[in-house]
Amino acid sequence: MDFRKTFDQIPEAFDKYRPRYCRELFEELISVTGLNPESHVLEIGPGTGQATEPILKTGCKYTAIELGENFTAYMRQKFQSYSNFAIINADFETYDFGAQKFDLVYSAATIQWIPEEIAFSKVYDLLKPGGMLAMFMTRSDEKSANEALYNEIDEVYKRYFVVKQKYNQRINYDNVVNYGFINFSCQEWKKVRKLNADEYISYISTHCEHITLEEPYKSKFYEGIRNVIQNAGNKIVIYDTIPLYLAQKPM
C-alpha cells in the first residue's frame, strides 16, 4: 500500500476537516523569503491547498506538484481564478523539472513522506542560490488538556483499531544541514481547538491509517470514540503546535 495516495481517496473531507495553519506563519514566511510577483515558488504535495492561497496572493509564480489525481483536480478547480497558479500531477521523487529553478520550495506536512536523501538533495538542486526551503506541519497534543479522556480513547484504539499497515514516515528536519543548507531555524506558534464528538471523528477520519480501517472494526471504533467523548461532556481540547523550519541554499 502506498500511504502517500491514501488521502487522495477523500479530497472533500480532507479539505473540510483538516486543521488550518495560522496567519502568523504565512506572514513570517512571506516576510523572510521576500515573496513578490517575480518569485518562483514550488509547493510539494499541496493536497487540497491548506497552505496555498496565502502564497498565491503574493502574486508569485506558483507551481505545485501533487501525486494524487483527485487532489490535483480539486486544486485546479479551487484555484482556477488565480492566473499565477500551475499544478503538475506527478511524483516529486521522480519528476524531471528540467531547467526550472525556484526561490522558495515549501512543504506543509508532506516532505516527511519522502526519504531525506531524496527530499533534501533534490530541493537543494531545485533552488536558486540564496533560495529557501520551508517545512511546516501541525503537531497535536490531545492528552495535556484532558488526560482521563485521552486514556479512555486510547483504550478504544487498543480494542478496535486494527489496520493492515501502520504509519511510520519520519524525517529529521535538522538533517537538512547535512545536504548543503545553511541558516537553519525553527519558529513555533500555538493554537487551541475544541471539538465535539462528531467533529473529532470527522477530523481523525482524515488520518491515513483511519482511512484504511475496515469492518468489523470500523463501526465499533468510531462508536467507541463517540461514546467516550460524549460521556466526557461532548468536548475534547487539542493543543496544536505549528513549527516552521527554514533553511537556505548558499549564495
Return the CATH number at 73: 3.40.50.150
Angle, vertex CA 104, rays to CA 33 and CA 3, nearest 5:
130
pLDDT at 136 over 70: yes
pLDDT score at 3: 66
**Three-class HEC string of 204-237:** HCCCHHHHCCCCCHHHHHHHHHHHHHHHCCCCEE
Question: At 8, which amino acid appears?
Answer: D
Q: What is the pTM of this model?
A: 0.94
What percent of the chain is predicted at pLDDT more than 90?
A: 94
Rounded to whole angstroms, how far apart are CA atoms 101 and 135?
18
For helices 197-204 and 217-231, angle between their N-to-C axes, nearest 10 degrees: 140
pLDDT score at 164: 82
Q: 136 is in which domain, residue-wise?
A: 3-248
Rounded to whole angstroms, how far apart are CA atoms 142 and 149?
9
CA atoms within 13 A on the CB side of 174: 0
- The count of other CB atoms within 10 Å of the CB of residue 203 is 20
Is the peptide bond preceding residue 216 cis, with omega within 30 degrees of 0?
A: yes
Rounded to whole angstroms, how far apart are CA atoms 73 and 65?
12
Helices (H) and strands (E) in the chain, counts: 9, 8
Average pLDDT over every residue of 89-103: 97
pLDDT score at 168: 72
Angle, vertex CA 112, rays to CA 178 and CA 190, nearest 5:
100
First-to-final CA distance of the chain: 41
pLDDT at 120 over 60: yes
DSSP reduced 3-state for 119: helix
pLDDT at 4 over 80: no
Q: What rounded mean pLDDT belongs to the chain?
A: 96
For helices 217-231 and 147-160, angle between their N-to-C axes, nearest 10 degrees: 170
**Residue 165: which pLDDT band, with cuts at 50, 70 and 90?**
confident
- For cell 477520519, what's the residue? 205
Residue 50 φ then ψ, to 5°? -65, -20
CA atoms within 13 A on the CB side of 223: 8
Q: Give the torsion through C-alpha atoms of 24, 30, 34, 36, to 10 deg.
A: -140
Question: What is the per-residue pLDDT across 5-46, written as a single tens digit (0 to 9) for each?
Answer: 789 999 999 999 999 999 999 999 999 999 999 999 999 999
> How many folded domains does the chain comprise?
1
Sign of CA dihedral 39, 170, 137, 187: negative
* Cell numbers describing residue 35: 515573496
Question: At 10, which amino acid appears?
Answer: I
pLDDT at 1 over 60: no
Average pLDDT over every residue of 87-105: 97
